[in-house]
């Protein structure tokens, strides 16, 4: 290791000057100062050149979106390298539904390259859209970095911007486009804590009423009013009436599915070990991720819960999915998995009834949302 | 470097009097530069993992916590290796170099979890290895009656680096629109500069004095050699006091979390809170060290923990936002200034020259492990009984530990 550090010193060293004291390497103070000055200059140059190159690589400004919200389009965050990385893109969603599923799987397996995505949407970390409203979670670097929830209209123009803290995690728009909800990880920039906490907000776009942190909602756990300082909510999904909603609550190391009521502002637990619920378009089923293993290695599996029978079944996806799945229609779920190359992520689909097999839908993408 | 970067008027006067040994200033500069490098990465890693790589915070926490235990063992090994044949500079330099190279590892790992774990492991091992030899070098190159100030100067410089690192990282991310690779490259360059400074300006052990290297001694089992400093009664008492107080320290992240719960101020600024503490720390590190040199080092060490106790009491009783925030940050800064370097200065004279590094490694490891225990205990109490009850328990435990430590620490310190 230290060998790496030696050469500049030897180059500049002047052995005759050595004598004064027993000094490092036996070189004179002057020689050492010169060597360090040279090294500093070289390293500074490397750092500056790299930074300037990286700065030039980055987009200069946020141009207006190249497209709006249109029916029959699959919207997602594109992570593919190139001009559109980190921005929302879209694809025609024609090949969707249970019948088209097999075909989509085959074409994806054969060649993921020919996807004719239109890039140039808003720049977001998380994105979701429905009913003529879109929600975009952004992070802007700075000292300290800032995060925003940006509400966009049907032409993907900014309507409202809410400053937040933490790391964007989940974003959902109700089917009507009225109720928005998002979750941020509040790890801040603290390095030492291994646990994390979440802040989930709900915005009613009709009234403009914003609940910045929903953790004060009165909670009924196993039939009794529950109080604990460590409750955390995440992954909200709204029903068609824009009043009933489902979410995850965690307390004392357990997670529960809660059913909430917006008007009465209460929530009650329905079931244990259920995270990131996502309500089907017909409002009869919840897709969710279930913890099947302790620890950090492949902990989650995708499941669907039938709300009438309260029975759950696993989906054909065998890999661990850490995402709030999105219903592309009443039979198909879309979700993001880490990309094969290690960087970025891909959108996969799987039938909601537990049959079939997962299929790669869009490579280099996350946050799927199909606008109906 | 120190003068230019801190601007602390009180400290300036003392340093310019020229009584702080050259090696201490050199090591302080190395630490300053290295801390800029490592805190840059520390500040952006959570963002990088969760946003750029799409790892879940659970995985991040796992990666992050994975190596904290390893560090303790490596530290003991580093101290031991440094004492054998007086290779302090070589061992410390290896540690600094390993941490610097780990930035390249992060850069090359891309999104691969295995590569990232390896890079984080390398950084932690480097940090573990270098700490004890570095503190031993400071101790060996300063006169025993000025040890407190020597460590104070070093810690002030070290903290300056820790203060500048996150600012530099966020500025870089801002300038490059989230190019994390630029942060890693700059951090590597800065870290490498730290290693070069060490190589060029920190004297090897041979230059420090006529202390005979103990290499020629009879073969003794490794375990008993590592534990050898504990045979000294004075060191044993210092070690016991440090571990006792460590076991009553709830951990900074909890303190900041409690502040956040009680204040709910513009949370965007929350990540900057530790910087307030660091600022107080760096201003007071030198005065606290000097005070220790003059009236005995147990005094600032104990009063520092009393400041921590006062911070807990503030959290428990004061409702007013501004008073609470300012009070807790200042008291926490006082706590670090009066205890961190001072503890090393307290232990230095109790250790034979040939056992400085291993003794300090032992002390730091004991303190770290007892703090880990305390944090776990406090977390459990918080979950079970809520934060006010947990805090009340912490106050009682710390007060008891303080009384115990006051009784344990020798009243008359050994000078040589």
Asked whether residue A191 carries a pLDDT value surpassing 80, the answer given is: no
Kindly report the nearest CA distance between residue B157 and chain A, in angstroms.
19
* Angle of the B113-140 helix axis to the B22-47 helix axis, nearest 10: 160
What tokens does B120 get? 């984080």
How far is C-alpha A289 from the geometric centre of its chain's CA atoms?
15
> Cβ(A335)–Cβ(A128) under 8 Å?
no
Mean pLDDT of chain A: 83
So what's the pLDDT on residue B274?
79
DSSP state of A118: B
Domain extents for chain A? Answer: 2-57, 73-371
Interchain proximity B178–A165, CB inside 8 Å: no
Q: How far apart are CA A285 and CA A300, in angstroms?
A: 19
**B199 closest CA partner among B332, B311, B40, B93:** B93
Nearest CA distance, A99 vs chain B (angstrom): 31
Kindly state the tokens that stand for A141: 């670097």
Question: Is A336–B51 a contact, with Cβ atoms under 8 angstroms apart?
Answer: no
* Dihedral class, residue B174 (left if φ above 0, else alpha if ψ from -120 to 50, else beta): alpha
Predicted local distance difference test score (pLDDT) of residue B302? 94
pLDDT at B69: 63
In chain B, which residue's Cα lies nearest the Cα of A147?
B268
Nearest CA in chain B to A25: B200
Cβ distance of A25 and B200 shorter than 8 Å: yes
User: What pLDDT is stored for residue A353 in this prediction?
Assistant: 94
* A24 neighbourhood in chain B, CB within 8 Å: 89, 199-204, 207
Question: Which pair of structure tokens corresponds to residue A64?
Answer: 């207006």
- What does the pLDDT read at residue A196? 62
The CA distance from B348 to B355, in Å, is 10
Q: What angle do CA A196, A202, A208 make, to 5 degrees?
A: 145
User: Is B270 within 8 Å of A165 when comparing Cβ atoms?
Assistant: yes
Mutation for testing the A interface, residue in B41, B57, B94, B166 having most A CBs under 10 Å: B57
Backbone angles phi, psi at A153, to 5 degrees: -90, -170
CA B246 from centroid of its chain's CA atoms? 13
Phi, psi (rounded to 5 degrees) for A85: -65, 135
Residues of chain A neighbouring B58 (CB-CB closer than 8 A): 196, 296, 299, 322
Strand partners, B174: none
Residue of A nearest to B93 (CA): A2
State how far the alpha carbon of A340 is from the alpha carbons of A89, A325, A346, B130, in Å.
20, 19, 8, 38
| Reduced 3-state DSSP string for A58-107 | CCCCCCCCCCCCCCCEEEEEECCCCCCCCEEEEEECCCCCHHHHHHHHHH
Q: Give the closest of A58, A193, A295 to B253, CB-based.
A: A193
- Residues B308 and B293: their CA atoms lie apart, in Å, by 22
Output the CATH code of domain B226-411: 1.20.1250.20
Q: Is the pLDDT of residue A22 over 90?
A: no
Cα separations in angstroms, B357 against A224, A293, B158: 57, 43, 19
Residue carrying structure tokens 């952006």: B44
User: Phi and psi for B216 in degrees, rounded to 5?
Assistant: -80, 0
Beta-carbon separation of A36 and B252 below 8 A = no
Please tell me the predicted confidence (pLDDT) of residue A97.
Answer: 40
Tokens of B342: 């001072």
Quote the radius of gyration of chain B (alpha carbons, Å): 21
Helix, strand, or coil (residue A238): strand
Q: List the domain boundaries for chain B.
A: 18-208, 226-411
- CATH no. of B18-208: 1.20.1250.20
Residues A50-59: tens digit of each pLDDT: 888 888 766 5
CATH superfamily, with its number, for domain A73-371: TolB, C-terminal domain (2.120.10.30)
Kindly report which listed range (A67-71, A267-271, B368-372) carries the lowest average pLDDT score. Answer: B368-372
Contact B370, B197 (CB under 8 A): no
Residue A90, token pair as written in the block: 């879209």
Residues of B within 8 A of A44 (CB-CB) are 189
**Interchain proximity A35–B111, CB inside 8 Å:** no
Q: Name residues whose C-beta falls within 8 Å of residue A178's C-beta, 6 or more positions apart in sequence.
A: A131, A133, A204, A205, A206, A242
Q: Kindly determine whether residue A51 and residue B197, on different chains, have CB atoms separated by under 8 Å.
A: no
Distance CA B30, CA A240 (A): 61
A30 burial via Cβ count (<10 Å: 0-12, 13-18, 19+): exposed
Query: Please, are residues B43 and B165 in contact by the beta-carbon 8 Å criterion?
Result: yes
CA distance A224 to chain B (A): 18
CA–CA distance, B307 with B296 (Å, rounded to integer): 18
CB B409 within 8 A of CB B298: yes
Strands A266-272 and A219-221: parallel
| Residue-level pLDDT, tens digit, chain B, 416 residues | 333 333 333 333 344 344 678 889 999 999 999 999 998 888 787 777 766 666 666 666 566 555 666 777 889 889 988 988 788 999 999 999 999 999 998 888 766 667 888 888 888 899 889 999 999 999 988 888 889 999 999 999 999 999 899 889 989 888 887 788 899 999 999 999 999 999 998 887 655 555 544 444 455 566 666 677 787 888 999 999 999 999 998 877 778 778 877 776 555 566 677 788 889 999 999 999 999 999 989 999 999 999 999 999 999 887 777 788 889 999 999 999 999 999 999 998 888 888 889 999 999 999 888 888 887 788 788 777 878 898 999 999 999 999 999 999 877 655 44
Q: What is the pLDDT of residue A172?
A: 96
Q: Which residue of B has its CA nearest to A142?
A: B174
Which residues are B183's β-sheet partners?
none
Please calculate the CA angle A320-A325-A327 and round it to the nearest 5 degrees: 140
Locus of tokens 């270098």: B130
Q: How many residues does chain B have?
A: 416
Pairing of strands A158-164, A311-314: unpaired
Strands A167-173 and A179-185, bridge-based pairing: antiparallel
Contact assignment for B196 to A47 by CB distance below 8 Å? no
Q: How far is CA A161 from CA A135, A236, B57, in A?
A: 10, 20, 25
Kindly state the tokens that stand for B274.
């530790």
Helices (H), A304-372: none
Residue B187's CB is within 10 A of a number of other CB atoms, namely: 30
**Bridging pattern class, strands A73-78 and A87-92:** antiparallel
Question: What token pair was written down for B53?
Answer: 């790589």
Beta bridge partners of A362: A347
pLDDT value of residue B65: 57
Question: Which residues of chain A lie closer than 8 angstroms to B101, CB-CB?
Answer: 1
Is the pTM higher than 0.80? Answer: no
């Amino acid at each position: 290791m230290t060998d790496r550090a030696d050469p500049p010193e030897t180059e500049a060293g002047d052995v005759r000057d050595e004598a004064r004291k027993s000094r490092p390497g036996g070189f004179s103070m002057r020689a050492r100062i010169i060597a360090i000055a040279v090294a500093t200059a070289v390293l500074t140059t490397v750092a500056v050149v790299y930074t300037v190159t990286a700065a030039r690589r980055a987009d200069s400004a946020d141009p207006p979106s190249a497209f709006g919200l249109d029916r029959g389009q699959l919207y997602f965050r594109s992570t593919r390298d190139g001009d559109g990385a980190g921005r929302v893109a879209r694809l025609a969603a024609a090949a969707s539904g249970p019948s088209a599923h097999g075909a989509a799987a085959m074409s994806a397996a054969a060649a993921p390259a020919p996807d004719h995505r239109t890039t140039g949407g808003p720049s977001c970390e998380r994105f979701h859209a429905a009913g003529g409203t879109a929600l975009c979670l952004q992070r802007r670097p700075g000292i300290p970095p800032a995060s925003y929830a940006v509400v966009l209209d049907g032409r993907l123009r900014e309507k409202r911007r809410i400053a937040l803290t933490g790391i964007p995690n989940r974003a959902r728009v109700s089917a009507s486009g009225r109720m928005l909800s998002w979750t941020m990880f509040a790890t801040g920039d603290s390095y030492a804590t291994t646990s994390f906490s979440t802040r989930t907000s709900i915005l009613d776009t009709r009234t403009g009423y914003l609940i910045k942190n929903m953790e004060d909602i009165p909670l009924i756990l196993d039939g009794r009013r529950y109080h604990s300082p460590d409750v955390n909510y995440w992954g909200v999904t709204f029903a068609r009436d824009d009043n009933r909603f489902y979410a995850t609550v965690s307390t004392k190391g357990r997670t529960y599915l809660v059913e909430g009521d917006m008007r009465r502002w209460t929530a009650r637990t329905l079931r244990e070990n259920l995270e990131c619920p996502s309500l089907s378009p017909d409002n009869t089923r919840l897709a969710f991720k279930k913890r099947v293993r302790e620890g950090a290695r492949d902990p989650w599996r995708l499941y669907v819960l039938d709300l009438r029978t309260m029975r759950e079944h696993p989906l054909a996806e065998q890999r661990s999915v850490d995402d709030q799945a999105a219903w592309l229609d009443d039979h198909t779920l879309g979700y993001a998995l880490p990309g094969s190359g290690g960087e970025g992520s891909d959108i996969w689909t799987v039938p909601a009834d537990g049959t079939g097999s997962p299929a790669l839908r869009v490579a280099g993408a996350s946050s799927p949302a199909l606008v109906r | 470097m120190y003068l230019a970067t801190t601007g602390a008027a009180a400290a300036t006067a003392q340093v310019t009097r020229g009584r702080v040994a050259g090696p201490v200033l050199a090591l302080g500069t190395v630490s300053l530069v290295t801390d800029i490098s490592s805190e840059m990465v520390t500040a952006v890693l959570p963002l990088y993992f969760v946003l750029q790589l799409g790892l879940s915070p659970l995985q991040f926490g796992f990666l992050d916590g994975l190596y904290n235990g390893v560090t303790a063992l490596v530290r003991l090994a580093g101290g031991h290796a440094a004492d054998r044949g007086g290779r302090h500079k070589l061992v410390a330099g290896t540690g600094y170099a390993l941490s610097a190279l780990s930035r390249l590892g992060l850069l090359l790992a891309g999104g691969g979890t295995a590569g990232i774990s390896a890079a984080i492991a390398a950084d932690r091992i480097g940090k573990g290895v270098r700490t004890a030899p570095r503190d031993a070098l400071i101790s060996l190159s300063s006169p025993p009656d000025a040890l407190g100030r020597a460590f104070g100067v070093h810690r002030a410089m070290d903290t300056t680096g820790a203060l500048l690192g996150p600012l530099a990282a966020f500025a870089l991310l801002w300038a490059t629109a989230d190019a994390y690779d630029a942060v890693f490259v700059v951090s590597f360059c800065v870290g490498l500069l730290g290693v070069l400074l060490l190589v060029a300006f920190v004297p090897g052990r041979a230059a420090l004095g006529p202390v005979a290297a103990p290499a020629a001694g009879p073969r003794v089992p490794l375990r008993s050699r590592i534990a050898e400093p504990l045979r000294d009664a004075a060191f044993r008492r210092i070690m016991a006091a440090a571990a006792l107080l460590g076991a009553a320290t709830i951990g900074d992240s909890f303190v900041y979390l409690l502040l956040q719960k009680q204040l709910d101020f513009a949370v965007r600024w929350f990540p900057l809170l530790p910087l307030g503490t660091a600022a107080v720390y760096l201003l007071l590190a030198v005065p606290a060290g000097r005070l220790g040199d003059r009236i005995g080092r147990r005094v600032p060490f104990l009063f520092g923990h009393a400041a921590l106790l006062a911070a807990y009491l503030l959290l428990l009783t004061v409702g007013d936002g501004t008073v609470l925030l300012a009070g807790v940050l200042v008291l926490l800064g006082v706590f670090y200034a009066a205890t961190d370097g001072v503890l090393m200065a307290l232990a230095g004279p109790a250790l034979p020259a040939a056992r400085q590094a291993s003794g300090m490694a032992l002390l730091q490891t004991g303190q770290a492990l007892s703090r880990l225990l305390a944090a776990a205990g406090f977390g459990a109490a918080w979950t079970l009984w809520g934060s006010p009850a947990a805090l009340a328990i912490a106050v009682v435990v710390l007060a008891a530990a303080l009384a115990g430590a006051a009784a344990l620490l020798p009243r008359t310190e050994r000078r040589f």
